Amino acid sequence: MQDNYNRRIDYMRISVTDRCNLRCFYCMPEEGVCKMDHRDVLRYEEIIRVVREGARLGISRIRLTGGEPLVRPGIEGLIRSIRSVEGIKEISLTTNGQLLKDMAADLKQAGLDRVNISLDSLVPEKYKEITKGGNLKRVLESICVCIETGLKPVKINVVIMKGVNDDEIEDLAKLARMLPISVRFIELMPIGHTLQRYEDHYISMDSVMKRLPGLVPVDKVQGGGPAVNYRLPGAIGTVGFIGALSHNFCHRCNRIRLTADGKIKPCLHSDLEVDLRPALREGKGELGDALVRAIELKPQRHSMDNAGGIEGSRDMYQIGG
Ligand code: SAM
Ligand code: SF4
């Protein structure tokens, strides 16, 4: 379906849970994590109904995210069911990679096409500090297993932050020299509680690119998305840059987001939400009409740059990135 600004909306990101086995400091508050009531979280049958209705409106690509999607039991079954929905051509997953190594083969078998793995540091102690307890070795093993399993292209999401991991830009990019992966540097976004720390840690994508001389532009990497992609001389993989603030890409935005508690967010950086639960649970109105309304509400562009963020809104773990 086209939105009011002639953008074709064919991609839905589904947050299956707000729970997570890590606590990355830019995503989740350290204390006072506000957890959704289990009764509010959509059941898998409800998610499938949304996917079916979405597919009828032209959604052909699905990404599962969270919180950490792999902590929700039965995720393979959800993938299998989504796979069987007519019109769905691709299923991908965003994960922190802590549990992925042992699940990759089953996920692939269930119908998962590819993964994005978040990794902000190659220094074990720093990784542990950023994520509040994460195990770097497990992520690196997961990356290798995914390559072997054929969940490709494997993409690595790096949120780059001044004074935290900006000393590792070259090392992180080097991963794409040796491995057939796409390493994507992402600008820190002022979302939820991150607003307070954003000024201290934000770095623009131009500053990151300057640190990587010799970048050669490449054609679209499979799966598209907002990244602008390059190859370093002699590299097998690619490096990408996602500058949501410095290089606005709203004019080619193709997505809507379903939160774990059943709200459609037409834009990541806006508090606008359309609640699907009345249609899903109480028979109030048609599910398809609610989805159409959400797409019609999609703003022309986000307001992060002129409002300095969206105070009081959800944190990233409650949206899915
Ligand atoms: N737990 C999974 C993971 O970490 O990949 C999926 C959910 S996480 C919310 C999705 C993505 O959002 C991750 O790549 C994470 O690094 C990114 N993210 C979280 N907070 C962010 C922020 N304030 N700015 C930019 N990216 C952020
Ligand atoms: Fe959890 Fe992912 Fe957020 Fe880190 S970025 S706290 S792994 S949801």
Ligand nearest to the CA of 188: 1
Q: What lines the ligand 2 site, CB under 6 Å?
A: 20, 22-24, 27-28, 66-68, 96, 118, 131, 316-317
Atom of ligand 1 nearest to the CA of 317: 9
Please say whether the beta carbons of 319 and 268 come within 8 A: yes
The residue whose C-alpha atom lies closest to atom 19 belonging to ligand 1 is 27
CATH number for the segment(s) 11-319 = 3.20.20.70
Q: How confident is the model at residue 214 (pLDDT cuts 50, 70, 90)?
A: very high
pLDDT value at residue 199 = 84
pLDDT at 150 over 60: yes
Sign of the alpha-carbon dihedral angle for 264, 245, 21, 107 = positive
Q: How confident is the model at residue 191 (pLDDT cuts 50, 70, 90)?
A: confident
Please say whether the beta carbons of 63 and 13 come within 8 A: yes
Ligand nearest to the CA of 16: 1
Q: Which 8-state DSSP code applies to residue 30?
A: S
pLDDT value at residue 201 = 95
Q: Is there an atom of ligand 1 within 6 Å of 115 CB?
A: no
Among 22, 75, 118, residue to substitute to test ligand 1 (most atoms within 8 Å of Cβ): 118
As beta bridge partners, residue 205 has: none
pLDDT tens for 20-32 read: 999 999 999 888 8
pLDDT value at residue 91 = 98
pLDDT at 183 over 60: yes
pLDDT value at residue 305 = 63
pLDDT value at residue 193 = 82
Prior bond to 266 cis, omega within 30?
no
- Among the ranges given (202-216, 225-239, 296-310), the one the predictor scored with the smallest mean pLDDT: 296-310
Give phi and psi for 40, each to the nearest 5.
-85, -20
- Among the ranges given (37-51, 132-146, 300-314), the one the predictor scored with the smallest mean pLDDT: 300-314
pLDDT at 18 over 80: yes
Percent of the chain with pLDDT over 70: 96
- CA of 18 from ligand 2 middle (Å) equals 9
Among 27, 115, 154, residue to substitute to test ligand 1 (most atoms within 8 Å of Cβ): 27
Domain residue spans of the chain: 11-319
pTM for the model? 0.95
Q: Which 8-state DSSP code applies to residue 191?
A: B
pLDDT value at residue 96 = 98
- Alpha carbon distances (Å) from 138 to 24, 98, 173: 16, 6, 19
Q: Is there an atom of ligand 1 within 6 Å of 65 CB?
A: yes
Closest alpha carbon to 262 in 115, 53, 77? 53
pLDDT tens for 252-295 read: 999 999 999 999 999 988 889 999 999 999 999 999 999 999 99
- CA of 117 from ligand 1 middle (Å) equals 10
Q: Is there an atom of ligand 1 within 6 Å of 100 CB?
A: no
pLDDT value at residue 307 = 47
| 74 CB burial (10 A radius; 0-12, 13-18, 19+) | exposed
pLDDT value at residue 270 = 85
pLDDT at 203 over 80: yes
Residue 256 CA from chain centroid, whole number: 12
